[in-house]
Structure 1
């Protein structure tokens, strides 16, 4: 079940945001003008380790800046917050405080996590500042278009601003909460996991190990409904091995896969997969121009290595049996072929499996 380390042996680079993608972001109000770059936050003078409530290292460090830099950075971060969460009106800025700027060296994006607090009521929220990466931006946009969740993010040249996605980290949930769930709750989580797994596979979002998604519980009358959301989009359409896009091959997800096998029959699993593909098709049909424009950008862009594209094409032809993948020249064309299949199947009211 585990993903072999060789499947993801080559470190993913940061792909630049080209002019065509910038134009797309401008059209859909994702672009901003800011006085702050990601690199500005790297000028911290010192840091201390951030520990969790169990005194374990979180792999984040709390940064400290010179007084001059801190004043300038704080002002820019408050302006970004106002733009991210409202219309950019500066009238709220005097009531905001930057409580913490944390830095994480774990993973590809090396993000800064910003904690903003309203001093009038002590409510706080987080957002992230990262180096802009074209493949990650495509991942965020595809999540916005194809999933049930809206994504709130902004781009300024080579800097990416992302809203915090609230939820219980998947690895923590599996370890601490899942064993305490009722059998009915486990069945509902299994259903959601099947749908989440299908969504990631169809739109080629890779490396969805348990710490790259969150579980969000919602109280509904006398029970709790659990939803699953991706929080890491670095591996959008990059890897060549098809297994990297399939959650069942991640050892960190073994307990979830095991639960699906115990709680759901094959007919139910297939039905939930069909439901998720139908939902994705409906989303594409309700936003046809946006989907087409985004795929057009991907087709004109480079977000993977040629050897990854060649390997994925070969595996898809073998696994799906559709020779159309042979003609694909890049990841954008591969994804276009997959989504066209999903949409065509929905319009033809077909139950044919893709994977």
Structure 2
């Protein structure tokens, strides 16, 4: 397991480049919204939000003056309509903003908005964050290369993300994992291997247990577990390759032990190959969209020289691909990593892929 020293103390937020801004508009990610992140910072006060065990969740529930609350509520309902419906105000009378929560932990410091349908009490969440190019690249790559589609909007310095439902990994490991059957634990081990591989391939870092969720799905007579990333702040920034492999975080120790106890080495290799093949197929099927994103990312500044130099040499040591040593941008490393996986899928036998270290 690793510790906090693997991670930079503070990751800076990177602005959206002109090329990325055009890309977002082309694929309907850039849409005008009636409220900005900074507007939500004008709260009058807050109270701590506790969980069912009376422990601090690191979220605070904020409140606004009466005059500002009316305008903020209407704007948040409009954002919900843009994100989930046709963007009109027709559904506003049936919506209520139940809560606006603010998280003081981590880089993004998001607002979590709880919207309830007053006709049937169904509710959902969405998040309001400061725009960061790393986060946007992470969301787009998750949308194209993972099994899950993502819905988000960008407007100037504000990012709107839909809520990803599931049990937070740390909560699942503590409260649910001990109650799982042996077959469920084996299936969880398989999913963690695939999740670990997917994060490394597309350079998504910092997948500690509280940065992903575990989603139980009923399939006929048993439960199937899926693992989904929920935090994309550490896309293509850190210099140490271990940061992009969830297995090296101490918070995931019990998941790693699950893999060791439930899966043979041959099975682990098999699941790695399966995930690489699936990602390669998604790269091919994404066509021009992922090609455009990769070209934009290759020219963008989303990390520092120290991290770039460290990561490119670590990946070169594993792959012996001389092209990694030539990289000057983090996006170039990402592009080569994705191309490496695609080339393996297209032209290398399964045995050769298994035997590769990267």
TM-score clears 0.5: yes
Partner in structure 1 of residue 69 of structure 2: 70
Partner in structure 2 of residue 159 of structure 1: 158
Partner in structure 1 of residue 196 of structure 2: 197
Distance in 1 of aligned mates of 2:179 and 2:9: 38
Partner in structure 2 of residue 134 of structure 1: 133
Distance in 1 of aligned mates of 2:349 and 2:337: 15
Distance in 2 of aligned mates of 1:35 and 1:172: 35
TM-score for both structures, normalised by structure 1: 0.98
Does the CA-based 8 Å contact 2:98-2:114 persist in structure 1? yes
Partner in structure 1 of residue 94 of structure 2: 95
Distance in 1 of aligned mates of 2:21 and 2:97: 29
Partner in structure 1 of residue 271 of structure 2: 272
Aligned residues: 354
Partner in structure 1 of residue 219 of structure 2: 220
Partner in structure 2 of residue 260 of structure 1: 259
Distance in 1 of aligned mates of 2:272 and 2:204: 16
What SS does the aligned partner of 1:90 have?
A: coil
Deviation at 1:349, TM superposition (A): 4.7
Partner in structure 2 of residue 240 of structure 1: 239
What SS does the aligned partner of 2:218 have?
A: strand
Partner in structure 2 of residue 2 of structure 1: 2
Q: Does 1:210 align with 2:209?
A: yes
Does the CA-based 8 Å contact 2:8-2:238 persist in structure 1? no
What SS does the aligned partner of 1:91 have?
A: coil
Partner in structure 2 of residue 12 of structure 1: 11
What SS does the aligned partner of 1:34 have?
A: coil
Does the CA-based 8 Å contact 2:34-2:78 persist in structure 1? no
What SS does the aligned partner of 2:91 have?
A: helix
Task: Summarize deviations over 1:106-161 as a string: whole Å, max 9, x none.
Answer: 00000000000011111100000000000000000000000000011000110000
What SS does the aligned partner of 1:193 have?
A: helix
Partner in structure 1 of residue 168 of structure 2: 169
Partner in structure 1 of residue 325 of structure 2: 326
What SS does the aligned partner of 2:233 have?
A: coil
Distance in 1 of aligned mates of 2:172 and 2:59: 20
Partner in structure 2 of residue 306 of structure 1: 305
Distance in 1 of aligned mates of 2:33 and 2:209: 34
- Stretches (4+) displaced over 6 A: none
Partner in structure 2 of residue 288 of structure 1: 287
The alignment's C-alpha RMSD in Å is 0.9
Distance in 1 of aligned mates of 2:44 and 2:73: 15
Partner in structure 2 of residue 297 of structure 1: 296
What SS does the aligned partner of 1:287 have?
A: helix
